[in-house]
Structure 1
Amino acid sequence: MITITTADAIIHTLESPEAIADIPSPNTRAALQAAYDAGHWELYEPPQAEPEPLPPDWPAFRLALLQSASFRLWSEALPATWREDLKLAAIAANAEALQSIYTHCTTLHSPGHTAATEWQQVADHHRIPITF
């Protein structure tokens, strides 16, 4: 397949240069032939499909947070029930619940900007849709 760009910047896709002869309109056929003869054509390359985004990696995310000294220090300052809820939301891979519980927990004990920035990098790296 080829694409031919006519003088009026219209791009036509044809099976081959020989297919120009099959165009019913004499004006279009002449415009395509003139553009082809002038070298205004190229091989047609179909658009490439976008690769599917990788899914969130919840196990690696949970492990990374457990290995974070700042997260452990912050979470240990929370009431046990809220810490448990936070953990269960992460285990269930429920981003909406995790976000809601985390937001509430920050009202109980602020993690600080530096820690939240570190955790956001972990979430982004593992494609977890949460904002710290």
Structure 2
Amino acid sequence: MEFLSSRVILRPRDPDRSRAFYRDTLGLAVYREFPGGVVFFLGQGLLEVSGRGSGEVSPDVALWLQVRDLGRTHEELRQRGVTVLREPRREPWGLHEMWISDPDGVRIALVEVPAGHPLRTDLRHGAED
């Protein structure tokens, strides 16, 4: 089995409001637009906001978005009127995280990976030793 690409698909209750949030508030670049939806670049993945959902958002689902500078991101989002669910802090696993949500309540973790964290370790170097 071979997977060539992937994306997360959200079905918002208010598609226009959600598309505006991801495009204008978070500043995600548009990869593709089509009747009834838009696909955004999401770092190394894609986020599709399309159709219309009718159910409640599960608290078991969240988006994980890595940013370069969490302090700057926090300030920019506050200036844009985004409610911060949890202020930035260093987690026991070493990542700096803050939490927000989209207009439907989809939880979004904004994460900065600090220097020296294992996620920044180039494992190829250890393989050569």
When normalised by structure 1's length, the TM-score is 0.29
Higher relative strand content: 2
Larger Rg: 1
